[in-house]
Chain A
């Protein structure tokens, strides 16, 4: 298999969710993240002729997306007078008192690590979902990520409930195997 070749036709199916997760974690706005992913695909097409084949397709697209995220922050900060640290007050009482001290990062907090780990986990799961057969991944995503009810999914895909549970079972078993090495350490 020739993996270091670009197949733009398959980009959306293979990488859209992966890139989207990556973007959402960084801009924390689904709408903006979606636009960034779209821009990434277009920028990828534009510079496809510069693709050397040195990296895997996905790594290459992530590199473009990374630039897009940076550009996005640059853009929103470029307007005059806005290039400063902004602290959002959560409520009125926040605006009085030693707010700077109170907003300092807690050196003992482990929440930051959690967030990084959870993002890696999210990308790992997306990667595994992308490896599933199309029907299974569709069912799994609808059920687990979009949280749709069994009946709605059956109607939308034209299958019966026992069909659905078989597919859920297969998807879950594959995911367990796929995530096994790195994430199932107990």
Chain B
């Protein structure tokens, strides 16, 4: 049996496809009777879907450092 903290960690791992089969089994067992975790798991999945849908782009740290240097140079 796992507690809610462990369940949430597995749930987070699952969002990045890093949960093992055994962990996933333990999680679904836990979700059967834990309402709070079911709700968290549902929202977590939704967040993953939203992030995928949004087609996010980010600048890398190096690019940001370079930008900062250019700005500093200008000031």
Does A45 contact B56, Cβ atoms closer than 8 Å? no
Does A176 contact B67, Cβ atoms closer than 8 Å? no
Does B63 contact A145, Cβ atoms closer than 8 Å? no
Q: Which residues of A contact B47 (CB under 8 A)?
A: 172, 175-176, 179
**Cβ contacts A133-145/B at 8 Å (1 or 0 each):** 0000000010111
Q: Which residues of A contact B71 (CB under 8 A)?
A: 8, 11-12, 41-42, 45
Q: How far is the CA of A152 from the CA of B59 in the complex (A)?
A: 18
Q: How far is the CA of A175 from the CA of B50 in the complex (A)?
A: 11
Interface size, chain B (Cβ < 8 Å):
29
Q: How far is the CA of A70 from the CA of B25 in the complex (A)?
A: 53
**Cβ contacts A33-48/B at 8 Å (1 or 0 each):** 1100110011001000
Q: How far is the CA of A111 from the CA of B64 in the complex (A)?
A: 33
Which residues of B, 28-44, contact A by the 8 Å Cβ criterion?
43-44
Q: Which residues of A contact B8 (CB under 8 A)?
A: 169
Q: How far is the CA of A56 from the CA of B43 in the complex (A)?
A: 31
> Is A30 close to B, CB under 8 A?
yes
Residues of A within 8 A of B (CB): 8, 11-13, 16-17, 20-21, 24, 30, 33-34, 37-38, 41-42, 45, 118, 121-122, 125-126, 141, 143-146, 150, 165, 168-169, 172, 175-176, 179, 183-184, 186
Residues of B within 8 A of A (CB): 8-9, 12-13, 15-16, 18, 43-44, 46-47, 50-51, 53-60, 63-64, 67-68, 70-71, 74-75
Q: What are some 24 contacts across the A-B interface (CB < 8 A)?
A: A12-B68, A13-B64, A20-B57, A20-B58, A30-B57, A34-B63, A37-B67, A41-B67, A41-B71, A118-B53, A118-B54, A122-B55, A125-B50, A141-B58, A143-B16, A145-B57, A145-B58, A146-B60, A150-B16, A150-B18, A169-B12, A172-B15, A172-B44, A179-B47
